[in-house]
Amino acid sequence: MTLNAPTSTPGAFDPPPHPYDRLNKFKPVCEAHDGGIVNLSVGSPSDPPPAAVVAALGNSDTERGYPASNGSPEFRAAAAGWLSTYDGVNIGPDDVRATIGSKEFVAGLPHWLKLRRPDLDVILYPETSYPSYAMGATLAGCRPVPVPMDDNWRMDLSKIDPADASQALCIWVNSPGNPAGAIEDLDAAAAWGRERDIPVISDECYISFTWDSPGRSILSNGTDGLIAVHSLSKRSNFAGARAGFYAGDADLLHYLSEVRKHSGFMPPGPSQAAAVVAFGDEAEVQVQRGRYTERMQFMVEILAEMGISAELPAGGFYLWVPAPEGDAWAFVERLANDLGILVAPGDFYGDAAPGYVRMAMVTSMESLELVRQRC
């Protein structure tokens, strides 16, 4: 049977291999090392969420009824209160809507924006970045248009073609950025979008992990034309429970949340209840910051011993490391063979950085000690 085989129709979407699946062939050689694989490829937290957050998952009494698509009043108040602790941010519960983690929102947004403005079709996003910005555009039948980056891995807004800007449904900004950890000029991004009536969507899921300066939200510029996207996946090691939110421009929020309600997006009640506790926690975030700092410093030392110079990032918990001779895939293979480490090559994050690898510092110090012993 050929049930409407997707590739038979011109223009049909054929899902590419998921980037991380392309690393599977290196896993056996990593596993063969004494002590097994040290997986630094996916940025999936392995440290525990705060105990009170896990406890709240079990005793919320929210399982039997449908949860609020927009987020419960308690969830929205806690999220708004937390984000308003950042300099210049002043939002309330009505400025917030819940999401099921942030990836579904990142990948779905172009589709919903296109429903609102079918005459536009461009999604602008940082050229070297989290792949879901471009994938979301593709899935919506939009044109993903990468914005070139400067030498410090920040978007160079002056390089955006005015013809693309005139067709733009939105521009993504990501600060601290994945993979390079750069801090973007959020004020410049907000001003750029407002001058052109283009919504600026700021993915701030690493805001709790800035190292040289306090975390900043684009909403320190007010909410008009701006949306900040947040997640508890990284901040509270809560990726498995899928809790996030978006906040900002009243008109956009209203439109997006109505469409999402029709589509059945409902962040699970227990996750929402636990998120309320997580937004109130700062102590465990500080502990987590210490873990990432220690691991990143340790790994930079190991790389230095190998003759590879890597810098600590300004934000996030990834090391963005230039590969010897600029060959990322050869470096991925060497690290797997010699040290049992799995890392992600730069081309997972766009075409512009093939000479880098990304190392996610999500494994324990014990596993990094193993790596040192293998050197």
3-state secondary structure 153-177: CCECHHHCCHHHHCCEEEEEEECCC
> Which residues does 149 contact at the CB level (< 8 Å), separation at least 6?
126, 127, 128, 155, 156, 352
Ramachandran assignment for 168, one of left (phi > 0), alpha (psi -120 to 50 degrees), beta (any other)? beta
Choice between 29 and 54, CB closer to ligand PLP = 54
Residue 205 binds ligand PLP, judged by CB under 6 A: yes
Please, which of residues 216-255 interact with ligand PLP by CB under 6 A? 231, 233, 239, 244
Residue 203 binds ligand PLP, judged by CB under 6 A: yes
Q: Which of 40, 106, 227, 310 binds ligand PLP (CB under 6 A)?
A: 106
Q: Which stretch binds ligand PLP (CB under 6 A): 97-105, 110-118, 150-158, 215-223?
A: 97-105
Q: Which stretch binds ligand PLP (CB under 6 A): 21-29, 102-110, 265-273, 335-343?
A: 102-110
Inter-CA distances, 335 with 59, 200, 310, Å? 44, 38, 15
- Per DSSP, the three-state class of 119 is coil
CB of 239 to ligand PLP, least distance (A): 5
| Residue among 19, 40, 26 nearest 338 (CA) | 26
Residue 89 binds ligand PLP, judged by CB under 6 A: no
Please, which of residues 153-192 interact with ligand PLP by CB under 6 A? 174, 178
Single-letter amino acid, residue 100: I
d(CA 141, CA 337): 40
Q: Which stretch binds ligand PLP (CB under 6 A): 54-62, 98-106, 120-128, 149-157?
A: 98-106
Residue 315 binds ligand PLP, judged by CB under 6 A: no
> Which residues does 173 contact at the CB level (< 8 Å), separation at least 6?
126, 155, 184, 186, 189, 200, 201, 202, 203, 218
Choice between 266 and 308, CB closer to ligand PLP = 266
CB of 174 to ligand PLP, least distance (A): 5
List of residues contacting ligand PLP (CB under 6 A): 43, 101-103, 106, 130, 174, 178, 203, 205, 231, 233, 239, 244
